[in-house]
Amino acid sequence: MSAASTLDLLKATGTIVVADSGEIDKIKAYKPQDSTTNPSLLNTAARLPEYKHLVDDALAYVRGSGVTDKHERMELLLDKLSANFGTEILKHVPGYVSTEVDARLSFDTQRSVTRARRIMKLYEEQGVGRDRVLIKLASTWEGIQAAKVLEAEGIHCNMTLLFGFAQAVAAADAGATLISPFVGRILDWYKKNTGKEYSGAEDPGVTSVTRIYNHYKAHGYKTIVMGASFRNTGEILELAGCDRLTISPALLEKLSGMTDAVPSKLTPEAARSAAGTSPAVHFDEAAFRWELNEDPMATEKLAEGIRNFAADLVKLETFLDGLLAGATA
């Protein structure tokens, strides 16, 4: 009998593995519990010939919608395409798929809520229930308030672009179903700004997620912690035992080819025993904005992440606009 792979051993710690990909073939290969997409992944996947039928269906939906305003048509096309990819992904994962609200609405609570409701409606039209979808929102104050509204309606949310402790606390207080702290991007910032190399438990992305996980478990928060944006397998293994980890296909492949032991690094029991080191704390809007302001890493990476997702949305829109124009010519 061959030795269990490191990926299998990671799953055995209780960590749910999530595929960070919009490509269905890669999701099939690694059999994750959940899957998550973002504008960058969708921009890539929408151009691949094997997913042309999903794009064509979204185009046909918009043509038959009766919407005539060019801007509104594109918004509907983006949401329909997102729901089409998500619905296809759900044929191959037993759990959640995460679908992102337009990053350009990251500072607009009401418009984020409106788009999220429509995305969920587009899923429901394809027979997908609310128990299978997470709506992704940037972890701005406005995004967190949108999540509060949506969660009260039974629409579950995944708070993305999360880099700081204040973001994590506010998201949990809002009742968000899940948060996605970006481990690798935190590491990138510290390496760039300190000139140092980090590894193992000293990796600042690892320490950030460990702090959040321990705080949640110590104080009874139900919000799921899903580490994201990994740069290497070492970061992943240092977070073994975390609720969920969303991992790129390249790193899933590496873990599948490894046979390293995977001890649990995070456990609810250890977090609760250390509760006194992480006192309960809450943030109103002013306190949240101040704490974020005082964390240059979180401030800069949040802004950069929103800009980058917005830029990929513009690229995707340009691609789709050409198809839409061709379809209506």
- In the chain the first and final C-alpha atoms are separated, in Å, by 60
Closest-CA residue to 317 (of 21, 66, 62, 23) = 62
Measured over the CA atoms of residue 210, residue 211, residue 217 and residue 220, the dihedral's sign is negative
**Residue pair 34/158 in contact by the 8 Å Cβ criterion:** no
User: Tokens 């873990």 map to which residue?
Assistant: 255
Determine whether 11 is an active site residue.
Answer: no
Structure tokens at 124: 């429901």
HSE on the CB side for 69, CA within 13 Å?
4
What stretches of the chain show up as alpha helix (H) in DSSP? 6-12, 24-30, 39-45, 52-63, 70-89, 109-124, 141-152, 165-173, 183-194, 204-218, 233-238, 249-256, 268-273, 285-293, 296-328
User: Which residue bears the tokens 């595929």?
Assistant: 19
Rounded Cα distance between 25 and 30, Å, is 9
- Cα separation, 34 vs 93, in Å, equals 6
Sign of the torsion angle spanned by Cα atoms 46, 87, 127, 224: negative
Catalytic residue among 11, 80, 136, 265: 136
Which of 279, 327, 320 shows the shortest CA–CA distance to 78?
Answer: 320
- Give the span between the Cα atoms of 145 and 174, in whole angstroms: 7
Q: Please identify every residue annotated as catalytic.
A: 136
